Amino acid sequence: MDFDLEELVNVEQTFYDSGYADGRTHGRIHGLIEGRALGREKGFEIGEELGFYEGAARIWESVYIGQGKEGHRAVTHARALLTLLSTFPSTNPHEEDGIDISALLRQVRSRYKALCASVGVRPSLRAGELVDGEENIEGNGGQGDAKKRSVWKVDATPGAETGLSF
């Protein structure tokens, strides 16, 4: 009977190392699965937000151009926002590309806020929800029929210089 007493002394460490290696490979597999799911979810959220910004920019650009106000400040902001949105990557960029998604997203949000300020609306991604302080007709905190209101709350009434007719 040949056996090594040294193995008996380190039996606890041997089982620990074996369990650690198994746990690491198992964790790596589940980490990849969860990472992909989270990436898909966050990618959808960013895409939805960017689509909202693009739609708002296109609408305000067409409203002002339709009224013959090609050189209006809102048209300039809308075009700058659309240009910035066109530079946003639609695929997962590599680190060596040097694209900072969060910085680009901050720039897009800033351009959107500038566009909203130039047309006199409150910037909001949640366009269909009630604005803070507003309640529905019954005042029961969202239960029942909500009062009808426009999608964008107009902060300043348009003066004679805007000439909006919608």
What pLDDT is attached to residue 113? Answer: 93
**Span 49-96, pLDDT tens digits:** 999 999 999 999 999 999 888 888 999 999 999 999 999 888 877 776
Question: Cα separation of 166 and 164, whole Å?
Answer: 6
* Residues of the chain scoring pLDDT < 70: 1, 3, 96, 125-166
Question: Which sequence spans correspond to the domains of the chain?
Answer: 10-91+100-119
Q: Which residues contact 152 (CB under 8 A, 6 or more apart)?
A: 116, 121, 122, 124, 127
What pLDDT is attached to residue 71? Answer: 82
- Which amino acid would we find at residue 71? G
What pLDDT is attached to residue 70? Answer: 83
Token pair for 70? 């090609």
What pLDDT is attached to residue 138? Answer: 40
What pLDDT is attached to residue 91? Answer: 82
What pLDDT is attached to residue 59? Answer: 94
CA angle at 7 for the pair 5 and 8, rounded to the nearest 5°: 65
Question: Cα separation of 17 and 30, whole Å?
Answer: 20
